[in-house]
Amino acid sequence: MIGLAVLALGGAAAAEIQTTGALYADESSATLSGFEVQSLCSWAGYEPVQDLLAALGPSLHWGFEESSAPWSDDAGSPVSVAPDGTLVCDQGVLALEPGQSVWTTPTISDPATVILVLGAPTVAGTAFTVAELTGGAGFDVRVTAAGATLHAWDAGGTAAAIVTASFDSAASAHVLAVSFSGTDANLWVDGNVADGVLPAPVGAPVLGLGAVPGTEPDGPASATAAFSATELALVPTSVAATELAAVFASATAP
């Protein structure tokens, strides 16, 4: 059967196969001197997470290129480091620990979607926050090893769990997204979806990774989770589930 397959490929291909002694899948390219392995990043059929997020038209997109800090000096001290293998084709990650956070004050439209691509959290806590300063309304997404929960609060109120969605336990990376408009909210986690209602709209908010000081609700506070962020995007519209699924598929590509 092998001999017939070689003959079917033609004389030139047969000569190459006889010199290398192997057949390769479509991630390899044949040359006269043998076979050259093609990386996933250079394969025309693969769209990196960064490109998919950029195509959504984000008003803010942090890719955490190594040694960069696109936030102001008073908005957090961590700087990004070299890629840790969570994503292919990555430029860097921001590794956060409890007690750390970074934030900015973008103009946020209504509706809007916040998308975070991250590695598996090792300590439970807050992954990102969207909230008004000085006791205003807001929400955050808190993660554990099992999944994520959207918490929200009104001005002067305590945080309450709104909805929860599970991580894909087999995934090498995770995608969290919250789309919100007025008091309507949608939590998307690795393809698992949950709809909820916020206690109040969030106006002129801060967007930050971790638990951002000055945005805490009344009552017990949540600390920042321990995790590596690889991409953060703010998109000035509701992002479709199919587009989020494409981001997740790219993030978890072998």
Per-residue pLDDT band for 244 (boundaries 50, 70, 90) equals: very high
Q: State what percent of residues in the chain have pLDDT above 90.
A: 69
Main-chain dihedrals φ then ψ at residue 249, nearest 5 degrees: -65, -40
Measure CA of the first residue to CA of the last residue in the chain; give whole Å.
Answer: 31
Global pTM value: 0.83
| pLDDT tens readout for residues 134-143 | 889 999 999 9
- What pLDDT does 72 receive? 80
- What pLDDT does 133 receive? 87
Per-residue pLDDT band for 232 (boundaries 50, 70, 90) equals: very high
| pLDDT tens readout for residues 48-85 | 999 999 999 999 999 999 988 888 878 888 889 999 98
Averaged pLDDT for residues 228-233: 96
Q: In what order do the strands lie in the sheet with 125-131?
A: 102-104, 206-209, 125-131, 138-143, 147-153, 160-166
- What pLDDT does 20 receive? 35
- What pLDDT does 177 receive? 98
Counting every residue written for the chain, the total comes to: 254
> Does pLDDT of 218 surpass 80?
yes
Question: Domains in the chain, ordered, with CATH?
Answer: 2-38 (no CATH), 49-251 (2.60.120.200)
Question: Which of 136, 144, 140 lies closest to 128 in space, CA to CA?
Answer: 140
Q: Tell me if 118 sits within 8 A of 229, measured CB to CB.
A: yes
- What pLDDT does 47 receive? 93
Residues 6 or more apart in contact with residue 164 via CB below 8 angstroms: 147, 148, 149, 150, 187, 194
Q: State what percent of residues in the chain have pLDDT above 70.
A: 83
- What pLDDT does 168 receive? 98
CA–chain centroid gap for 86, Å, is 10
Written as one letter, the residue type at 193 is: V
- What pLDDT does 76 receive? 84
> Does pLDDT of 248 surpass 70?
yes
- What pLDDT does 42 receive? 63
- What pLDDT does 44 receive? 66
- What pLDDT does 8 receive? 40
Q: Tell me if 49 sits within 8 A of 61, measured CB to CB.
A: no
> Does pLDDT of 254 surpass 90?
no
Per-residue pLDDT band for 43 (boundaries 50, 70, 90) equals: low
- Retrieve residue 75's tokens: 């908005």
Per-residue pLDDT band for 40 (boundaries 50, 70, 90) equals: low
Main-chain dihedrals φ then ψ at residue 65, nearest 5 degrees: -55, 140
| pLDDT tens readout for residues 183-206 | 999 999 999 999 999 999 998 899
